[in-house]
Amino acid sequence: MKKIKVGVIGTGFIGPTHIEAIRRIGFAEVVAIAGNGQESTERKAAELGIPRAYGDYRDLLKDDEVEVVHNCTPNHLHFPINKEIVLAGKHVLSEKPLAMSSEESAELLALAKEHKVVHGVCFNYRQFPIVKQLASMIKKEQLGKVNLVHGSYLQDWMLYETDYNWRLAPEVGGKSRTVADIGSHWCDTVQYVIGKKIVEVFADLATVIPVRKKPSSTGETFGGQSPVDTAYEDIPINTEDYASVLVHFEDGTRGVFTVSQVSAGRKNRLSFEVNGSQQSAQWNQEEPEKLWIGHRDKPNEILMADPSLFADEAKSAIHHPGGHNEGWPDAMKNMMINFYSFIRDGKDPHSDETPFATFEDGHISMCITDAILRSHEQQKWISVESIKEVIL
Amino acid sequence: MKKIKVGVIGTGFIGPTHIEAIRRIGFAEVVAIAGNGQESTERKAAELGIPRAYGDYRDLLKDDEVEVVHNCTPNHLHFPINKEIVLAGKHVLSEKPLAMSSEESAELLALAKEHKVVHGVCFNYRQFPIVKQLASMIKKEQLGKVNLVHGSYLQDWMLYETDYNWRLAPEVGGKSRTVADIGSHWCDTVQYVIGKKIVEVFADLATVIPVRKKPSSTGETFGGQSPVDTAYEDIPINTEDYASVLVHFEDGTRGVFTVSQVSAGRKNRLSFEVNGSQQSAQWNQEEPEKLWIGHRDKPNEILMADPSLFADEAKSAIHHPGGHNEGWPDAMKNMMINFYSFIRDGKDPHSDETPFATFEDGHISMCITDAILRSHEQQKWISVESIKEVIL
Amino acid sequence: MKKIKVGVIGTGFIGPTHIEAIRRIGFAEVVAIAGNGQESTERKAAELGIPRAYGDYRDLLKDDEVEVVHNCTPNHLHFPINKEIVLAGKHVLSEKPLAMSSEESAELLALAKEHKVVHGVCFNYRQFPIVKQLASMIKKEQLGKVNLVHGSYLQDWMLYETDYNWRLAPEVGGKSRTVADIGSHWCDTVQYVIGKKIVEVFADLATVIPVRKKPSSTGETFGGQSPVDTAYEDIPINTEDYASVLVHFEDGTRGVFTVSQVSAGRKNRLSFEVNGSQQSAQWNQEEPEKLWIGHRDKPNEILMADPSLFADEAKSAIHHPGGHNEGWPDAMKNMMINFYSFIRDGKDPHSDETPFATFEDGHISMCITDAILRSHEQQKWISVESIKEVIL
Amino acid sequence: MKKIKVGVIGTGFIGPTHIEAIRRIGFAEVVAIAGNGQESTERKAAELGIPRAYGDYRDLLKDDEVEVVHNCTPNHLHFPINKEIVLAGKHVLSEKPLAMSSEESAELLALAKEHKVVHGVCFNYRQFPIVKQLASMIKKEQLGKVNLVHGSYLQDWMLYETDYNWRLAPEVGGKSRTVADIGSHWCDTVQYVIGKKIVEVFADLATVIPVRKKPSSTGETFGGQSPVDTAYEDIPINTEDYASVLVHFEDGTRGVFTVSQVSAGRKNRLSFEVNGSQQSAQWNQEEPEKLWIGHRDKPNEILMADPSLFADEAKSAIHHPGGHNEGWPDAMKNMMINFYSFIRDGKDPHSDETPFATFEDGHISMCITDAILRSHEQQKWISVESIKEVIL
């Protein structure tokens, strides 16, 4: 069996996560990685058991054996590298956000169509079995007509004023932080689940910690020891720690979501509740194996992920019998199964249904982020206008 | 021991609930009730074991033995009857909302001050032990500085288009329904817990079911049997089933809440999460015995209501050892303990701290509801202006 | 309306709890209490708002107005006082255990029958709405044939070696402690729920803390302050902190339960799971408003206590709409409603169905405790023999 | 980087699960699988992307490149094939149970020692991050002295009398079914967590469904359609559906567990609670990311799997930041990381600490199962005698 040959750009946290997920599916193999500098990339390749290492990603793009490239770099490099991947005629799976602005994402989408490559964006929360099952239930109108959607995405990794990270710098992380980083996941997941697009937003953003303390270079940390006299530099912050956003969907469905990176005790709590005219459903990513289903006239239900209780079209997203819970890495695996099956079967993202988020979804996400920022500035409802042009 | 003598106006669901709660405290007794018509009220009095029955509430107000009157009538009667109670010089505990408009509630507050009666409004969710404990934790800054508050109050009793109730008619229930009925509880509870007032709101309201089916008088129901051919009349609805409201508190704390009466499976789910600079806390009234406490650097906690784990000032709100959960009726009992102790001790609501919601809180609630309605109409942020005048 | 007149013996924790529960039902009133010494009892009566105080319970038994007597004294007084109450021809509600041995409880049961009084024992966990609902579901075979029952009753109030209490002394608390105190509740509740009696037991008991430290009288505690130099006396303990008991029910149903008073973090966690041939159910008293219902072929359910979702015969045990949770005090109220309605309606516990635990149940409980102690001593299965004689 | 070469015998459900887990770790690769018949095994190899396929496992054992063999066959083949693997001088990871009797498992253990191979048994529940963390907490005495351990392992896949499976036949599945299948996991996990061995047991077993209906060969099922007139054959069953077992650990710690395969709604619910002299802990495999920690004097805790909250020695078992839950497949991956790192580092299971269950643990498990069966037959406490000889 010939395996699909893959290259991965970026060797930080998320790159190896992609590599492991690809390995699980059996019909694709990572033949090369690209990092920053030849020596360190070779060390990483040896550690990960990857045959070839490139100190410059451009060399990976010239590797003829590589058919698919994963872009696992920091945010500000997504656009230029995605562009080069497409121009190199290779299929591409990009980390989100797709770009730094909706102009850039529009350009990438057009380019990808033109060059006829398969394009994906790593909106991985769609790939949880329970999320697929809920999308199927809603499509079949088991909840009745969806009327309301509300939820939040809460984290605590930026809680303290001494929490500092490259994402805080707008030139690297982008002009929106919390909305772009995690609000984008909430919107993508919810739009996927209810099968409707957000067309209008009203937003309230806040920078809860307006000045953060960045460890100065002079206060060095030795060998993992906790520094005794770290010196800090005060850095004014202008990206948001928090947002609450009222949303209207294309058919008038109402919703609201809150995102925060300063909510102590919440690690990665993406959650939402859908209220339909007959039933409700609620999901929380920190307990990904459960779906709460709400009823008026009978007891509420807790659906544990279990192939024997799932709809046919959601069953394939779960790989073990009930009670053998699959988690976050398994959703990544599902993403790879879906993305690589699509490539293997020679499908076209512009005519076939894509069981993964594409550059189109990545562009829609950018447009929503733009509208949210504008709404907060202008303190009024803003249309997510570009959606129309994309969909049509 | 002389007991405080009480009269209760209104014999529907909530009146008897008040009566039972009063009986539990031991130092107050209900000597009279007033209903609609002498005969039916006498029957109710016999059933409840109350000595005197009045077919007209005005007669109860003339009963000299009665020192305190509970107003347990429908919304549109709150204002006129509260006024008469105060004018009769009796202490008053009113069901919420205090009136039909903030003008009326302002008048009642002024009148109550003038006549030097003790005045309370039945915002009962303040009276849960865990809520008191959380308020105490926040006052002592155990959560650090409170930055964010978000939550919802969800019910499902208006889910179907055939759900019909007097509260739907604006002339009886008021021009706001879901916000006034349950949003008011959310705001009162949260303001109490964090010790800050809401000063600005932006609201999005929706009437999810714009036409409801009211059972016509011709389709009669015999002896509890389910009607075979109920005829329905189409009634256009102009009060909201849903609202999401962005809020700003007096010190800049941000928040948002969602209220809905069309969320299948949610019966009376008032919940909120507070994110402080050190810790978070989350409470859900459907599991009232638990408080989730969120941490960044250690495991999250679940505090079960337990006097041995409570702060001194919250301990008195809980009457049994840990694991003997108290619920909704016990919060009502706490309200009565606090209200009647205050009267027994001869305290003055304008100089002493009131361990219950007063007409001032009732008025503030009316002002917030007014601001929410106005914000939705005008699609802009609206100040809760009257708060200033009340507080000063 | 004439109210039933009640006297309560015992003014410790549980006496006032009974009084409050009686007051809530409206058709019975506590006219007298009896304590230890005239002066302190009068003070207590004034505090509780009770008209008459007796320093000696024998005087309360001579009070002709008193029709019903509650025995709320420590364990070793249950038998002699219950006997006197019955001999005085008054109806009796006794705290559990009914007596100190099954010989005594058999005598009380015979005596109560002879004197034709209504007799009850305070096994209150039967009185939770969800427990009634589950009993009804099982009676209707909604779970299919019940095959297995397993669970536990865990507390932590005896966790530390410095925890000391009168119940530790066998002459006051009885020769069994944890089994008699809380195991008895587990057995009564489970037998009620599945409608079957335990006929055989195999037990393993342990005194986890074999020597406890009793505060000596010389180490005084002043005004609630924590004592600085408490002196302790070493007391060897010979009653069990823990037991696990295998049980067989009359029809062959299997079961097992664990009781412990040394399980940190468990306050009053009575829980059990019933596995039927079609469905399962699980209840935990620390979350009393929920019933987990387990299914093979559809999602599991969480039934929240809600009259609109309950069977007709369980509905009356719940007094508020769904989401207004009732708790431990409300189960006590249900007990009083059931006990006093039975008396009011002139029913006979030997011919009418008793919606509360009687002296017969109290005697059965004593027999099970006896069998458990004997099984542990003899390390073999022991029949709960006396059950047969009682039932026939 | 040279990868360790692996062969897998058995291509049913669990074989491919092993293969996927091995692939994730990056430094081992599956070069061959063996199944039943050349053609079907080749098809399976192509599907899984494995280079070599053997229709007979003996040929795989002769493959010189293969260094490690996984035995993923049905129970009755574990002993003979494990023996041949060891005799072939290859390292071995066997599915559990290790053999069909403790005589066989003793023989395998002796043989593996003699042939100096690395030997493992797939007791995978040790490999969950939270389980490792709890074992570390207990080792450091954070719970104080462990006094009690109780829990259960419940499933529902044998609930109906029409549920039929090869495991029901003693000659294939073994003379114990539920105890051997899932009780063995409970005992291994608990012994690992508290670091103590079970030395004495008292058991009560039951065959809840004594006659099952086996689909006859004449009632064919076409193409996944549900059979209209399946004919069934009545098969008497003599292996247990249920057991409750009282256990004593080597230092006198008490415990009890229940296993059942007929508990509706429980899919794979391995759970246990440990009560120490200072703290308690509870884990449930159906919510594998959470550990409940019980306290007497402060709120209970819920530890979510999170490397930043873990002890150093448990941290390596978790591969993502908090809130990115890992599940059952990740525990399998941990098993492979630990097993293959041990091999890669040239360690010896008889002198180095093994971070996985070995044939010794597999043999201990067989001895416990034997003791449980004997206790049930003889209705008395039975020592797990062979443990002594193994440990010494």
Interface size between B and C, measured as CB pairs under 8 A: 101
| Proportion of chain D above pLDDT 70, given as a percent | 95
DSSP-derived secondary structure for B233-288: EEEE--S-SEEEEEEEETTS-EEEEEEES--TT-SSEEEEEEEESS-EEEEETTST
- Encode pLDDT of C286-340 as tens digits: 999 999 999 999 999 999 999 999 999 999 999 999 999 999 999 999 999 999 9
- Encode pLDDT of B46-79 as tens digits: 999 999 999 999 999 999 999 999 999 999 999 9
- On whether the CB atoms of residues B296 and B190 are closer than 8 A, the answer is no
Q: Which helix (H) or strand (E) holds B72?
A: none
How many angstroms separate the CA of residue B282 from the nearest CA in chain D? 14
Q: For C294, which of D266, D292, D379 is closest by C-beta distance? A: D266
Cα separation, D267 vs D156, in Å, equals: 6
User: Mutate which of A125, A285, A291, A328 to test chain D, going by most D C-beta atoms within 10 A?
Assistant: A328
Residue D49 structure tokens: 């992307």
How many angstroms separate the CA of residue B250 from the nearest CA in chain D? 32
- Residue at token pair 């779960």: A318
Q: For C288, which of B46, B47, B325 is closest by C-beta distance? A: B325
Query: Which of A121-125, A361-365, B151-155, C164-168 is least confident?
Result: C164-168
HSE-up (13 A, CA, CB side) for residue C267 = 21
User: Which chain C residues are closer than 8 Å to D279 by Cβ?
Assistant: 264-265
- Encode pLDDT of C165-176 as tens digits: 888 888 887 889
- On whether the CB atoms of residues C273 and D263 are closer than 8 A, the answer is yes
Cα separation, C168 vs C240, in Å, equals: 9
Quote the Cα angle for B260-B262-B263, to 5°: 80
Residue C379 structure tokens: 């390390």
**Inter-chain residue contact B299 with D302, CB threshold 8 Å:** yes
Compute the mean pLDDT over every residue in chain A, rounded to the nearest whole number: 94
Please give the residue of chain D at the shortest CA–CA distance from A270: D323
Sign, CA dihedral A25-A31-A34-A35, equals positive
Quote the Cα angle for D360-D366-D368, to 5°: 105
Cα separation, A302 vs C292, in Å, equals: 9
- Residue type at C7 in one-letter notation: G
User: Which chain C residues are closer than 8 Å to D202 by Cβ?
Assistant: 202, 204, 246
Compute the mean pLDDT over every residue in chain D, rounded to the nearest whole number: 94
- pLDDT on residue D222: 44
- Encode pLDDT of C57-102 as tens digits: 999 999 999 999 999 999 999 999 999 999 999 999 999 999 999 9
User: Mutate which of C146, C251, C254 to test chain D, going by most D C-beta atoms within 10 A?
Assistant: C254
Quote the Cα angle for D53-D57-D59, to 5°: 75
How many angstroms separate the CA of residue B278 from the nearest CA in chain A? 7
**Inter-chain residue contact C266 with B323, CB threshold 8 Å:** yes
Cα separation, C96 vs C104, in Å, equals: 13
How many angstroms separate the CA of residue D257 from the nearest CA in chain B? 24
- Encode pLDDT of B219-237 as tens digits: 444 444 455 567 899 999 9
- Encode pLDDT of D127-140 as tens digits: 999 999 999 999 99
Residue A346 structure tokens: 């020679």
pLDDT category of residue A386 using cuts at 50, 70 and 90: low
- Encode pLDDT of D237-268 as tens digits: 999 999 999 999 999 999 999 999 999 999 99
Neighbour-count burial of B64, counting CB atoms closer than 10 A to its CB (0-12 exposed, 13-18 middle, 19+ buried): exposed
- Residue type at D175 in one-letter notation: K
**pTM, whole model, 2 decimals?**
0.96
pLDDT category of residue C390 using cuts at 50, 70 and 90: low
3-state secondary structure of B94: strand
Cα separation, C55 vs C41, in Å, equals: 6
Q: For D263, which of C242, C262, C280 is closest by C-beta distance? A: C280
- On whether the CB atoms of residues B260 and B178 are closer than 8 A, the answer is yes
Query: How many helices (H) and strands (E) are present in chain D, helices listed first?
Result: 13, 17
pLDDT category of residue D344 using cuts at 50, 70 and 90: very high
- pLDDT on residue B223: 43
Among B194, B180, B195, B181, CA closest to B150? B194
- pLDDT on residue C225: 46
Q: For C323, which of B23, B269, B304 is closest by C-beta distance? A: B269
User: Mutate which of C149, C244, C282, C379 to test chain D, going by most D C-beta atoms within 10 A?
Assistant: C244
Quote the Cα angle for C345-C347-C350, to 5°: 170
Q: For A302, which of C291, C300, C304 is closest by C-beta distance? A: C300
State yes or no: cis peptide before B16, omega within 30 of 0. Answer: no
How many angstroms separate the CA of residue B295 from the nearest CA in chain C? 19
Helices (H), ranges, chain C:
14-25, 38-48, 57-62, 78-87, 102-115, 129-139, 170-173, 178, 184-194, 312-315, 328-344, 359-378, 386-391
**Inter-chain residue contact C298 with A300, CB threshold 8 Å:** no
- pLDDT on residue D187: 98
- Encode pLDDT of B29-50 as tens digits: 999 999 999 999 999 999 999 9
- pLDDT on residue C386: 63
How many angstroms separate the CA of residue A292 from the nearest CA in chain C? 9
- pLDDT on residue A229: 65
- Bridge-based pairing state of the strands B68-71 and B211-215: unpaired
How many angstroms separate the CA of residue B342 from the nearest CA in chain A? 38
**Inter-chain residue contact A298 with C299, CB threshold 8 Å:** no
Chains adjacent to C (≥3 CB pairs closer than 8 angstroms)? A, B, D
User: Which chain C residues are closer than 8 Å to B26 by Cβ?
Assistant: 20, 23, 47-49
Cα separation, D343 vs D68, in Å, equals: 9
Q: Mean per-residue pLDDT for B268-283?
A: 98
DSSP at C382: E
State yes or no: cis peptide before D97, omega within 30 of 0. Answer: yes
Tell me which of D215 and D193 has the higher pLDDT: D193
List C-alpha distances in Å: C273 to C70, C202, C326. Answer: 32, 19, 21
How many angstroms separate the CA of residue B208 from the nearest CA in chain D? 35
- On whether the CB atoms of residues C349 and C358 are closer than 8 A, the answer is yes
Q: Mean per-residue pLDDT for C115-125?
A: 98
Question: What residues are paired with C293 via a beta bridge?
Answer: C281, C301
- pLDDT on residue C170: 81
End-to-end CA distance of chain D: give it in Å, rounded: 40
- pLDDT on residue C171: 83
| Proportion of chain A above pLDDT 70, given as a percent | 95
Cα separation, B227 vs B219, in Å, equals: 7
- Residue type at B385 in one-letter notation: E
Helix axes C102-115, C78-87, angle to 10 degrees: 10
Q: Is the pLDDT of residue C366 over 50?
A: yes
- Encode pLDDT of A54-83 as tens digits: 999 999 999 999 999 999 999 999 999 999
DSSP-derived secondary structure for C1-54: -PPEEEEEE--SSHHHHHHHHHHHHSSEEEEEEE-SSHHHHHHHHHHHT-SEEE
- Encode pLDDT of C20-29 as tens digits: 999 999 999 9
User: Which chain D residues are closer than 8 Å to B305 by Cβ?
Assistant: none
How many angstroms separate the CA of residue A279 from the nearest CA in chain B? 5
User: Which chain C residues are closer than 8 Å to A298 by Cβ?
Assistant: 301, 309
Interface size between C and D, measured as CB pairs under 8 A: 120
D195: left (phi over 0), alpha (psi -120 to 50) or beta: left
- Encode pLDDT of D226-239 as tens digits: 555 678 999 999 99
Q: Is the pLDDT of residue C219 over 50?
A: no
Chains adjacent to B (≥3 CB pairs closer than 8 angstroms)? A, C, D
Q: Which residues of D touch B (CB under 8 A)?
A: 291, 293, 297-304, 308-309
Q: For B300, which of D297, D298, D302 is closest by C-beta distance? A: D302
Q: For B330, which of C286, C306, C329 is closest by C-beta distance? A: C329
- Encode pLDDT of B95-144 as tens digits: 999 999 999 999 999 999 999 999 999 999 999 999 999 999 999 999 99
3-state secondary structure of C272: strand
Q: Is the pLDDT of residue B210 over 50?
A: yes
Whole-angstrom Cα Rg for chain A: 21
Q: For B254, which of A242, A273, A277 is closest by C-beta distance? A: A242
- Encode pLDDT of A221-276 as tens digits: 444 445 556 789 999 999 999 999 999 999 999 999 999 999 999 999 999 999 99
- Encode pLDDT of A2-31 as tens digits: 899 999 999 998 999 999 999 999 999 999
Q: Is the pLDDT of residue D391 over 80?
A: no
- Encode pLDDT of D284-298 as tens digits: 999 999 999 999 999
End-to-end CA distance of chain B: give it in Å, rounded: 40
User: Which chain D residues are closer than 8 Å to B134 by Cβ?
Assistant: none
Whole-angstrom Cα Rg for chain D: 21
Cα separation, C196 vs C190, in Å, equals: 8
pLDDT category of residue A1 using cuts at 50, 70 and 90: low
Query: How many helices (H) and strands (E) are present in chain B, helices listed first?
Result: 13, 17
- On whether the CB atoms of residues D19 and D8 are closer than 8 A, the answer is yes
Quote the Cα angle for C336-C342-C348, to 5°: 135
Question: What residues are paired with A30 via a beta bridge?
Answer: A6
Please give the residue of chain C at the shortest CA–CA distance from D298: C265
Residue A322 structure tokens: 């009930």
- Encode pLDDT of D18-69 as tens digits: 999 999 999 999 999 999 999 999 999 999 999 999 999 999 999 999 999 9
ipTM for this prediction: 0.94
Q: For A204, which of B246, B262, B293 is closest by C-beta distance? A: B246
Q: Mean per-residue pLDDT for B259-287?
A: 98
